[in-house]
Structures are given as structure tokens and as C-alpha cells.
Amino acid sequence: MREPNSKLSHPEIVVFDENPDPADQERLLALLDEDNRRKSGIVDQSDIAILLRDPQTAEVVGGLWAEDDYAWVFIKYLVVPEQWRGIGLGARMLEHAEMIARARGRVGLWLNTFDFQSRGFYEKVGFAAFGRLEGTNEHDGQTFLCKRF
């Protein structure tokens, strides 16, 4: 969908509500990173991947994926297969993420978790809630947690 712009004195607005081009997302992120770098001097580094691999096949069966988020590291995904929960894998992956974040000079880690996921686990390993989005009858709410160093 294109918003009418007969004078073309400013950029046109183009809306994609399905299947936006990943290259456009990369371009937006590059523009934002450059603006942030110019104003703050902070440069985001590459993503962090801490993977769980099946010992027989080397297939990725879980792990942690994180990204620099200004002065923090955002834990985007943390997946521990059900059969391997409760043996410390999640806590160990978070410890590795914390070591990397500290080495990068970051303030701490943050993440969000849905009501049906693992808020108690994150609190047990030192995260504290700082925000909440309530759910509806059809959708679970989510809690935002951080661990400041």
C-alpha cells in the first residue's frame, strides 16, 4: 500500500503488512545504528549464539541467541529441550551470555517471557521484573526482566 504523495517533497510511506523484505529491515537497522553511534558513541557488536548440539548428530537442539541492545544485551531466544531441563543448561548458557556482555562493557542482560514460559527460572538466576504487558482471554501476558551487573 502506498500513501499518496503528489508533490514528492518528502519520502513516500510504503506499508507491508505481510512478508516485508529482510534487506529493508537490515537497512533500517543500519540507519538506526549510525544515528545512535553518532549521538552516543555506542556501537552494537555482533549477535551472540550459545548453542546446544545433539552429541550424536551435532544438530542444534536448543540454545541462546542474544543481540547487543545499546548498553545492554537482549536475550532474544533461550530454548532448552524439555528432556534436558532441570540439569543446569539454561543457567550455564545465561552465565556464558553474561560473561560476553561484561567483556563488551554492557550494563546487563534483559529479556521477555510469556506467562506460560519460565519467569520463575529467570528470577532464580538473578533476573528481576521491570515491566509487564497483560494478556487477553486468547493470549498470554508477558513479563520483562533484567539482570543488571
**Domain around 49:** 44-148
User: Is residue 144 predicted with pLDDT exceeding 60?
Assistant: yes
Q: Which amino acid is at 46?
A: S
CATH of the domain at 88: 3.40.630.30
- Give the per-residue pLDDT at 92: 98
> Tens digit of pLDDT for each residue in 61-116?
999 999 998 889 999 999 999 999 999 999 999 999 999 999 999 999 999 999 99
- Looking at 15-133, which runs of residues are DSSP E strands? 48-53, 60-69, 72-79, 108-114, 128-133
User: Is residue 5 predicted with pLDDT exceeding 60?
Assistant: no
Q: 73 has which bridge partners?
A: 68, 109
pTM here is: 0.81
Query: Does any domain span residue 60?
Result: yes
> Tens digit of pLDDT for each residue in 17-71?
999 999 999 899 889 888 888 998 877 788 999 999 999 999 999 999 999 988 8
Query: Does any domain span residue 15?
Result: no
User: Is residue 1 predicted with pLDDT exceeding 90?
Assistant: no
- Nearest Cα residue to 89 out of 112, 118, 114, 131: 118
- Give the per-residue pLDDT at 46: 86
Rounded Cα–Cα distance for residues 51 and 62 (Å):
6
Query: Does any domain span residue 128?
Result: yes
Domain count along the chain: 1
Query: Does any domain span residue 4?
Result: no
Query: Does any domain span residue 51?
Result: yes
Rounded Cα–Cα distance for residues 126 and 117 (Å):
17
pLDDT band at 3 (very low <50, low <70, confident <90, very high): low
